[in-house]
C-alpha cells in the first residue's frame, strides 16, 4: 500500500520551473497603460496578468520619467504610491525586478509598473517622485540587495546595520547564515555543570570567551 | 517653526543642538520603536526613526509554507487587528486562484472585520488618551473591547489571534445566540461612544494638546503614502472599502469620515466617527444576512499558475496590501506585505518637524502604529 501511494504521489508533484519566471494570464489594458505604452514606445512593454491588473514593464533608463509622467499627467494623476518592492528571480536572465503599485486618489484607478535589472545593477530611485518610496526602497535594499541610485539615505532598515547578506534573496537559507552551524551543533551536547562552584564558573567563563 | 531667539541671548548664551534617544523601551512608542531626536531646546529639528526590533522575517517564512499553512502567521502582523490581516491574505489567495466566495461568507467576513476594526479603534482610543494623560479613558476603552473579544471567542474559539477565515469562505456559522449578543453589544456601545466623546472632544486640555499638533497637509499625506484614518484626517477621501471595493462592502450604506486640518485632533475625530460607521455596517449585515453555503469550492492542493496579484483591504490602520508572486507551485514564490503602519510611520518625520517633545507622544499615538506590523 505504502509503495503505491508513493508512486501515485510522485508524478503529481509539480516540476520546478527551470527556465525562469514568466507571468501567465492575459494582457489587461487600461487607458493609462495604453497611453504609457504609446508615449514610451520601445521602452515599455505590456505584461500578462492573472487577475486583469494592467501591468507595464518599463526599461530602467526611462523608469523615473515614466513614473513622473504617470503621476503628473492630468489624464492619469497616479499620485499615490501604494506599494513598492523587489523580487529576486535567480533563474531569469534579468535577475531582479522592482515592482511599483500606483493608485490615483482622484480617478480611483490603479496600475502596476515593473522594471527588470541585472544582478548588481542599481535601480534609479523614485524618492523624488514620491517621498513615500524612501522607506520602501530602503526595505528593498535591505532585504533584497537592490541598490538605488540617487537615494538620499540608503541604509538597512529592518535588519541590524552590521548584518551580512540580504535575507529575501533566494540563495539565502531560511535559518540564516548560521543555519548549518546550528544544525551541526558546534558547541556539542548540553552538559551538566559540576557540583564544584569554582569549576562550574570556569566552564561558564570559557564558554563565554569562545563565543 | 524654529522660534527666533532675541539677539542678546544668542550672544550671551551658548546654545547647541542636542540628541535625545527615545525608545526602544518607551511606554509611549507602543512597542519597540526608537526615535533619535535632534532637539533645539524643546523643539524637534530632525527625527531619525529606527525600526526592525521586531523583525521576524514573515515574508521569507511565507515562501516555505503552502498557501493554507501560511494563513495563521499573518495574524501576528497587526496583532490588534488580526482578523483584518487574515482577510487580506485570504482575499489575495482567492484572487490568485480565482475562487468564488459564497455571499453568506462575505457577509460574515464583513461582520467580523468591522468588529475587529471596532476593537482596534477602541484599543487605540484607550492607549492614545493614556499617552496624553487621560487615564480613565483607558479603562473604558479596554472595557468596551472585552465583549468583542468574548464574541470572537464564542465564534472562532480564540480571542486575540483567531485565524479567522480559511481560503475560500468561512468555517462555521455563528453559534446559537451570537447574533443577539452582538446586537445587544452594539446597542450598548452606541450611546457609550457619545459618552466617551464628551470626555475628550470638548475637553479643553485635550483640545489644547491635539489641535494644531502634528499637522500634515493633504498633498503631503498623499505623497508620503499615508493611508487609513491618518490619511483621511487630512481630508483625502481614500478608503479601500469604497475606492477599491472588495468582499460585500459595496452592498452596505456607510459614510467615510474626513478631517480638514490633518492634525492629531482630526485623526482622533475620524476614528471616533469611523467606529459609528462600523456599527452601522455590522447592523446592516446582521439584518441582511443571506442564506446559503459558507464554504466555497476551494481545492485541497492550491497550485496557482505563474503570475502575480496585488490585493488590498482596509485594515484598522490603513491600506493593507498583499503582493503574491506565484511560480506554479503550491507555495508563494514571493509574498510582500504592504503594511500601513510601516508607511504611516514614515510620515512621522514630516508631522513632527518643529513639534515639542511632549507632542511627539501625541503624534505617535495619533498615527496608531503597531510594531508587529511595522517590522513584520
pLDDT band at B1 (very low <50, low <70, confident <90, very high): very low
Contact present, A60 and A86 (Cβ < 8 Å): no
Average pLDDT over every residue of B199-203: 85
pLDDT tens digit sequence for B348-361: 888 888 888 888 88
- Rounded to the nearest angstrom, the minimum Cα separation between B164 and chain A is 25
Going from the C-alpha of A164 to that of each of A141, A167, A173, A178, the distances in angstroms are 12, 9, 13, 11
Cell 511599483, residue located:
A100
Q: Are the beta carbons of A82 and B323 separated by less than 8 Å?
A: no
DSSP character for B182? H
- Cell (9 digits) for B346: 514614515
- Rounded to the nearest angstrom, the minimum Cα separation between B152 and chain A is 31
Contact present, B361 and B131 (Cβ < 8 Å): yes
CA-based end-to-end distance of chain B: 35
CA distance A131 to A190: 51
Q: Reply yes or no on whether the pLDDT at B316 is more than 50.
A: yes
Residues of A in contact with B309 (CB under 8 A): 49-51, 53
Residues of A in contact with B244 (CB under 8 A): 103, 108, 110
Mean predicted lDDT score pLDDT of chain B: 87
Instruction: Determine the pLDDT at residue A7.
Output: 43
- Rounded to the nearest angstrom, the minimum Cα separation between B283 and chain A is 28
CA distance A3 to A121: 49
CA distance B246 to A110: 14
Residues of B in contact with A172 (CB under 8 A): 60
Q: What is the CA radius of gyration of chain A?
A: 25
Block mean pLDDT (10 aa), chain A, length 211: 45 57 81 84 84 87 88 87 90 88 88 88 89 90 89 88 86 75 57 77 78 60
Residues of A in contact with B308 (CB under 8 A): 23, 49-50, 55, 99
Closest residue on chain B to A20 (Cα):
B327
Residues of A in contact with B329 (CB under 8 A): 14, 16
Cell 475587529, residue located:
B116
Q: Are the beta carbons of A101 and B338 separated by less than 8 Å?
A: yes
Q: Are the beta carbons of A50 and B338 separated by less than 8 Å?
A: no
Residues of B in contact with A162 (CB under 8 A): none
Q: Are the beta carbons of B244 and A110 separated by less than 8 Å?
A: yes
Residues of A in contact with B312 (CB under 8 A): 82
Contact present, B215 and B352 (Cβ < 8 Å): no
Q: Are the beta carbons of A158 and B52 separated by less than 8 Å?
A: yes
- Cell (9 digits) for A1: 500500500
Average pLDDT over every residue of B12-36: 80
Task: Find the largest Cα–Cα distance for chain A.
Answer: 82
User: Nearest CB to B328: which of A14, A172, A174?
Assistant: A14
Strands B31-32 and B307-314: unpaired
- Rounded to the nearest angstrom, the minimum Cα separation between B136 and chain A is 36
CA distance B374 to B376: 6
Q: Are the beta carbons of A53 and B96 separated by less than 8 Å?
A: no
Closest residue on chain A to B318 (Cα):
A82
Instruction: Determine the pLDDT at residue A119.
Output: 85
User: Nearest CB to A49: which of B63, B308, B375?
Assistant: B308
Average pLDDT over every residue of B175-182: 90
Q: Reply yes or no on whether the pLDDT at B322 is more than 90.
A: yes
Contact present, A139 and A158 (Cβ < 8 Å): yes
Q: Reply yes or no on whether the pLDDT at B88 is more than 80.
A: yes
- Cell (9 digits) for B147: 465583549
Q: Are the beta carbons of B309 and A83 separated by less than 8 Å?
A: no
Closest residue on chain A to B54 (Cα):
A158
Closest residue on chain B to A98 (Cα):
B336
Closest residue on chain B to A110 (Cα):
B244
Q: Reply yes or no on whether the pLDDT at B267 is more than 50.
A: yes
Q: Reply yes or no on whether the pLDDT at B289 is more than 60.
A: yes
ipTM: 0.85
User: Nearest CB to B343: which of A132, A156, A159?
Assistant: A132
Beta strands in B294-340 (DSSP E): 307-314, 319-326, 332-338
Average pLDDT over every residue of B125-144: 88
Going from the C-alpha of A72 to that of each of A75, A79, B73, the distances in angstroms are 8, 7, 39
Interface test with B, best of A82, A87, A178 (most B CBs within 10 A): A82
Residues of B in contact with A127 (CB under 8 A): none
CA distance B67 to B81: 21
Instruction: Determine the pLDDT at residue A3.
Output: 46
* Nearest Cα to Cα of residue B75 among B87, B65, B66, B60: B87
Sheet strands side by side (includes B34-40):
B18-22, B34-40, B43-50
How many Å separate Cα A72 from the centre of its chain? 27
pLDDT band at B180 (very low <50, low <70, confident <90, very high): very high
CA distance A109 to A117: 27
Here the contacts of A32-41 (C-beta below 8 Å, separation 24 or greater) are: A32/A70, A32/A75, A32/A76, A32/A78, A32/A109, A32/A111, A33/A111, A35/A73, A35/A75, A35/A76, A36/A66, A36/A69, A36/A70, A36/A111, A36/A113, A39/A66, A39/A69, A40/A65, A40/A66, A40/A69
Alpha-helical (H) ranges within chain A are 2-12, 31-39, 63-72, 133-144, 179-184, 197-210
CA distance B87 to B71: 10
- Rounded to the nearest angstrom, the minimum Cα separation between A79 and chain B is 7
Going from the C-alpha of B314 to that of each of A68, B59, B114, B225, the distances in angstroms are 27, 20, 10, 14
- Rounded to the nearest angstrom, the minimum Cα separation between A185 and chain B is 23
Q: What is the CA radius of gyration of chain B?
A: 22
Residues of A in contact with B304 (CB under 8 A): 50
Average pLDDT over every residue of B17-36: 82
pLDDT band at B116 (very low <50, low <70, confident <90, very high): very high
What single string gives the DSSP state of each residue in A143-154? Answer: HH---EET-TT-
Q: Are the beta carbons of A14 and B343 separated by less than 8 Å?
A: no
Which residues, at least 6 apart from B206, have a Cβ–Cβ distance to it below 8 Å? B132, B134, B200
Average pLDDT over every residue of B70-81: 88
Closest residue on chain B to A13 (Cα):
B329
User: Nearest CB to B310: which of A16, A112, A134?
Assistant: A112
pLDDT band at B337 (very low <50, low <70, confident <90, very high): very high
Contact present, A152 and A165 (Cβ < 8 Å): no
Question: What H or E segment, with its residue span, contains residue B50?
Answer: strand B43-50
How many Å separate Cα A79 from the centre of its chain? 23
Instruction: Determine the pLDDT at residue A101.
Output: 92
- Cell (9 digits) for B84: 483584518
Percentage, residues of chain B above pLDDT 70 = 96
pLDDT tens digit sequence for B101-110: 898 999 999 9
CA distance A170 to B333: 9
b/e per residue, B108-119, with b = 16+ CB within 10 A?
Answer: bbbbbbbbbbbb
Q: Reply yes or no on whether the pLDDT at B8 is more than 70.
A: no
Q: Reply yes or no on whether the pLDDT at B250 is more than 70.
A: yes
- Rounded to the nearest angstrom, the minimum Cα separation between A192 and chain B is 32
User: Nearest CB to B307: which of A24, A108, A168?
Assistant: A24
Instruction: Determine the pLDDT at residue A99.
Output: 92
Contact present, A129 and A80 (Cβ < 8 Å): no
Q: Reply yes or no on whether the pLDDT at B272 is more than 80.
A: yes
Q: Are the beta carbons of B334 and A132 separated by less than 8 Å?
A: no
Instruction: Determine the pLDDT at residue B310.
Output: 92
Q: Are the beta carbons of B309 and A130 separated by less than 8 Å?
A: no
Amino acid at each position: 500500500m505504502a509503495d503505491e501511494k508513493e508512486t501515485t504521489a510522485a508524478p503529481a508533484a509539480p516540476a520546478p520551473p527551470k527556465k525562469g519566471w514568466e507571468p501567465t494570464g492575459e494582457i489587461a489594458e487600461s487607458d493609462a497603460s495604453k497611453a504609457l505604452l504609446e508615449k514610451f514606445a520601445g521602452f515599455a512593454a505590456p505584461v500578462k496578468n492573472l487577475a486583469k491588473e494592467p501591468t507595464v514593464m518599463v526599461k530602467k533608463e526611462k523608469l523615473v520619467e515614466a513614473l513622473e509622467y504617470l503621476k503628473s499627467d492630468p489624464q492619469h494623476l497616479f499620485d499615490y504610491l501604494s506599494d513598492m518592492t523587489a523580487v529576486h528571480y535567480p533563474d531569469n536572465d534579468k535577475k531582479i525586478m522592482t515592482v511599483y503599485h500606483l493608485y490615483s486618489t482622484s480617478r480611483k484607478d490603479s496600475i502596476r509598473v515593473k522594471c527588470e535589472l541585472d544582478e548588481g545593477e542599481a535601480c534609479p530611485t523614485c524618492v523624488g517622485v514620491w517621498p513615500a518610496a524612501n522607506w520602501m526602497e530602503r526595505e528593498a535594499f535591505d532585504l533584497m540587495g537592490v541598490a538605488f541610485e540617487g537615494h538620499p539615505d540608503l541604509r538597512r532598515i529592518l535588519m541590524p546595520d552590521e548584518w551580512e547578506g540580504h535575507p529575501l534573496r533566494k540563495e539565502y537559507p531560511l535559518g540564516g547564515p548560521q543555519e548549518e552551524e546550528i544544525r551541526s551543533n558546534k558547541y556539542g551536547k548540553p552538559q551538566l555543570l559540576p557540583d564544584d562552584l569554582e569549576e562550574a564558573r570556569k566552564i561558564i567563563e570559557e564558554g563565554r570567551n569562545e563565543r | 517653526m524654529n522660534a527666533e531667539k532675541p539677539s542678546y541671548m544668542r550672544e550671551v548664551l551658548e546654545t547647541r543642538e542636542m540628541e535625545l534617544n527615545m525608545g526602544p523601551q518607551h511606554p509611549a512608542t507602543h512597542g519597540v520603536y526608537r526615535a533619535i531626536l535632534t532637539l533645539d531646546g524643546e523643539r524637534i529639528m530632525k527625527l531619525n526613526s529606527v525600526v526592525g526590533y521586531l523583525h521576524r522575517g514573515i515574508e521569507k517564512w511565507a515562501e516555505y509554507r503552502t498557501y493554507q499553512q501560511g494563513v495563521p502567521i499573518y495574524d501576528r502582523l497587526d496583532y490588534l487587528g488580526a482578523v483584518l490581516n487574515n482577510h487580506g491574505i485570504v482575499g489575495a489567495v482567492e484572487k490568485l486562484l480565482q475562487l468564488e466566495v459564497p455571499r453568506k461568507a462575505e457577509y460574515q467576513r464583513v461582520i467580523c472585520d468591522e468588529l475587529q476594526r471596532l476593537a482596534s479603534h477602541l484599543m487605540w482610543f484607550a492607549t492614545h488618551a493614556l499617552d496624553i494623560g487621560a487615564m480613565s479613558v483607558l479603562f473604558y476603552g479596554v472595557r468596551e473591547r472585552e465583549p468583542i473579544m468574548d464574541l470572537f471567542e464564542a465564534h472562532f474559539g480564540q480571542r486575540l489571534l483567531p485565524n479567522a477565515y480559511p481560503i475560500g469562505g468561512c468555517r462555521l456559522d455563528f453559534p446559537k445566540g451570537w447574533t443577539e449578543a452582538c446586537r445587544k453589544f452594539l446597542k450598548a456601545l452606541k450611546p457609550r461612544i457619545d459618552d466617551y466623546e464628551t470626555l475628550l472632544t470638548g475637553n479643553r486640555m485635550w483640545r489644547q494638546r491635539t489641535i494644531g499638533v502634528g499637522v500634515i497637509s493633504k498633498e503631503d499625506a498623499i505623497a508620503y503614502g499615508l493611508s487609513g484614518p491618518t490619511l483621511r484626517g487630512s481630508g483625502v477621501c481614500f478608503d479601500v472599502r469604497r475606492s477599491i471595493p472588495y468582499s460585500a462592502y459595496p452592498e452596505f450604506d456607510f459614510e467615510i469620515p474626513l478631517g480638514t486640518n490633518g492634525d492629531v485632533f482630526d485623526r482622533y475625530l475620524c476614528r471616533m466617527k469611523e467606529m459609528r460607521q462600523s456599527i452601522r455596517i455590522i447592523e446592516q449585515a446582521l439584518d441582511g444576512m443571506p442564506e446559503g453555503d459558507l464554504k466555497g469550492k476551494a481545492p485541497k492542493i492550491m497550485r496557482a499558475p505563474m503570475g502575480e496579484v496585488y490585493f488590498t483591504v482596509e485594515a484598522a490602520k490603513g491600506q493593507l496590501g498583499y503582493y503574491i508572486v506565484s511560480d506554479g507551485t503550491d507555495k508563494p514564490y514571493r509574498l510582500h506585505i504592504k503594511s500601513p503602519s510601516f508607511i504611516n510611520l514614515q510620515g512621522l518625520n514630516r508631522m513632527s518637524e518643529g513639534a515639542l517633545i511632549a507632542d511627539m507622544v501625541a503624534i505617535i499615538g495619533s498615527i496608531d502604529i503597531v510594531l508587529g506590523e511595522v517590522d513584520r
